[in-house]
Structure 1
Amino acid sequence: MNILILGNPQDVHAVAIKQAITAAGAIADYLDTSLFPQHLKLSWQPGTTTGCLRLPSGKLLRITDIYSVYWRTFSGVNVPSLQDEYQQRIATNDAMGTLRSLMQACPARWVNSWQAYELHKEKPLQLSMVKNVGVKIPKTLISNDQEEIIQFTNSLEKAIFKPVYGGAHTKPVTPEHLEPKRLELALRLAPVTIQEYIPGTNIRTYVIGDAIYSAEIRSSHLDFREDREAELIPVELPASVQQQCLAITKALMLDWTAIDWRLNPNGEYVFLEANPSPMFLHFENQTGFPITQKLVQLLMQ
């Protein structure tokens, strides 16, 4: 059984999964797309399952030999620098087009798929889809319109802001942020996500297939990712929320995910985000939940 790990040996999560796959008796290799097209070779005949990968080691894997792929980190492609910008763009587009095509044509099970990865980049759409399956989300505005942002923020008791795409931590909205000139300059660069602040407790839930593991994250920080001293306490979600977890996972085309919630003082679980390739080793070490084992089982099903 050949299993690929989308990532590289510099990532501790990729290494942990590779070691666990090997211990379970399967063959694991890294698929580091940053080595394409210089060192990683791809071939495919469209309309067929005739295709292969030649890894930097020289190992040849036909796409029909690949049982599953664990999506850890997608690094894009790495085309050598060219003096001609037009040729650089053509080469990069050709490399990405080849890679994207083969990743979607490969009949192996992807945990998670290209489609799930693409959807995750559209966080406003993700929120909307989750609300459509009956899950509570924060009041949210995505905008680069100064008047709309001020009006929306003033309608909330307390507001936070964060990037639309992700990549930075959540911060509280202050009067300084809404100063007209500062706000106008910022919104000329990019739109922003404004949300109502949800008081309460952070809950993180890992869903692996039909297995669900949750823990309360006790932290004084607005964004618990900034808190290295955050305490993790295993909790059992209500049955209705567990069903919501499975509904979210299905709606977002995920086989596994980490869902972040806020549990408000009224006992309501409010959805914040679902990550298609979350870090998990610290969570696993602190709670004892068998996340690595469940992931390997999912990849070997």
Structure 2
Amino acid sequence: MNILIITHSQDNESIPLVIKAIENQGGKAFRFDTDRFPTEVQLNAYYGKGEQLILSDDEQKLDLSEVSAVWYRRIEVGKKIPKMTNPQIREASIGESYTTIQGMISSIKGFHLDSVPNIRRAENKQLQLQVAREIGLDTPKTLTTNNPEAVRRFAQECEQGMITKMLSSFAIYDEQGRDSVVFTNLVKPEDLKDMNGLRFCPMTFQENIPKALELRTTIIGKRVFTAAVDSQSLEKAHYDWRQEGIAFMKSWQPYALPQDVEEKLLKLMAYFNLNYGAIDIILTPDGRYVFLEVNPCGEFFWLELCPGLPISHAIAECLLTQADN
């Protein structure tokens, strides 16, 4: 049974973990580093006297009609196209390459973990909060706006303070190309005085939720894996544990969610037709479970290392068993 993994060459150790798990369960995994297309990888999509969809490089050739399942992990199409005198030509090349690969992915008839349209819809954080509230999950008061006065009014509702975050993944790059992720941050009173920057970019604001623990719940099919970390043990991580992600690498512990919370999370996944999701939750000191967001292609590899959750095994099992259906 052939499993195609859609990723890029700089992806992390989650890829070899899942490849090994697929092979241990009797399958064969093919890794497609999308940043190598179209410069190093070739695709033939032929529709004439029959159909043919072939992906190849110098080392392997894969007939995509023989692919039983697809794991859509990451996509970085066209990153190795060299800089050109006319930047518009390079942008057009990247756009055409991206469209070609998305068409290829859509054409594969096997099981998809998950289908791109489902992923794109589920990435809408505003819709996530709306659906989570309807299902009965506890959610923070949230405002997304480009209106400074609305922010100031909202701040008055937030008795424990207010934080700000981005709805999209965002990083700032220095002159050496090193990235700095924009994390969740506390909004200070002085920040409310000058908010003219909202004219150029809307921001999302939430009430600051007190934290006893931060939870990461990974769902694959109907299997639910949860781990917890005490983010408040390090000062820099009070508002976003990722700021001390490396320091916390060995601090995560298995955690058992209440059954009713798990059931609501599974309902959320079913609404979006997702088989995979990485969910962020806050456990408050008074025992509330506050849903923050679900990441349809969220990371999990550090939870495999510590506390040793068998997530890669579950992903491989899902790909192989669903391919049989």
TM-score by length of 2: 0.83
* Matching residue of 1:209: 221
Point out 4+ residue stretches in structure 1 off by more than 6 angstroms: 46-49
Residues of 2 paired with 1:138 and 1:53: CA distance?
A: 47
Unaligned 5+ segments in structure 2 are 171-181
* Matching residue of 1:197: 208
Tell me if the contact between 2:143 and 2:154 (Cα under 8 Å) persists in the aligned partners. Answer: yes
SS at match of 1:212: strand
SS at match of 2:225: strand
Residues of 2 paired with 1:57 and 1:12: CA distance?
A: 23
Match of 1:248 among 244, 248, 268: 268
Match of 1:280 among 292, 296, 300: 300
* Aligned-pair CA distance for 1:229: 3.5
Match of 2:162 among 159, 163, 167: 159
Alignment of 1:295 with 2:315, yes or no, is yes
* Aligned-pair CA distance for 1:287: 2.1
Residues of 2 paired with 1:89 and 1:166: CA distance?
A: 21
Farther off after superposition, 31-40 or 117-126:
117-126
For 1:73-222, what aligned pairs fall within 5 Å after superposition?
73-78=74-79, 79-157=81-159, 158-167=161-170, 168-180=182-194, 183-184=195-196, 186-200=197-211, 201-220=213-232, 221=237, 222=239
Distance 1:208-1:47 versus aligned 2 partners, 3 A rule = farther
Match of 1:225 among 242, 249, 253: 242
Tell me if the contact between 2:9 and 2:35 (Cα under 8 Å) persists in the aligned partners. Answer: no
Deviations 1:240-259 (A, max 9, x none): 11101211212233211111
SS at match of 1:74: coil
RMSD: 2.3
* Matching residue of 1:3: 3
Work out which structure has the larger RCO, using CA pairs closer than 8 Å and 6 or more positions apart in sequence. 2
Residues of 1 paired with 2:30 and 2:300: CA distance?
A: 20
* Matching residue of 2:177: none
Residues of 1 paired with 2:216 and 2:89: CA distance?
A: 45
Deviations 1:8-32 (A, max 9, x none): 4542111221222223322212111
1:64 alignment partner AA:
S
For 1:57-68, what aligned pairs fall within 5 Å after superposition?
57=58, 59-68=60-69
* Aligned-pair CA distance for 1:103: 1.5
Deviations 1:129-187 (A, max 9, x none): 3323332211111111111111112221111001121332111110222122xx10x21
Residues of 1 paired with 2:71 and 2:225: CA distance?
A: 19
* Matching residue of 1:72: 73
SS at match of 2:15: helix
SS at match of 1:177: helix
Alignment of 1:237 with 2:261, yes or no, is no
Unaligned 5+ segments in structure 1 are none
Tell me if the contact between 1:150 and 1:178 (Cα under 8 Å) persists in the aligned partners. Answer: yes
Percent identity of equivalent pairs: 28
Deviations 1:190-233 (A, max 9, x none): 11110011113212111111111112211212211122343322
Tell me if the contact between 1:219 and 1:229 (Cα under 8 Å) persists in the aligned partners. Answer: no
* Aligned-pair CA distance for 1:128: 2.1
TM-score by length of 1: 0.90
Residues of 2 paired with 1:285 and 1:60: CA distance?
A: 33
SS at match of 1:38: coil
* Aligned-pair CA distance for 1:289: 2.2
Number of residue equivalences: 298
Distance 1:47-1:213 versus aligned 2 partners, 3 A rule = farther
Residues of 2 paired with 1:46 and 1:93: CA distance?
A: 22
* Matching residue of 2:175: none
* Matching residue of 1:36: 37
Farther off after superposition, 95-104 or 39-48:
39-48
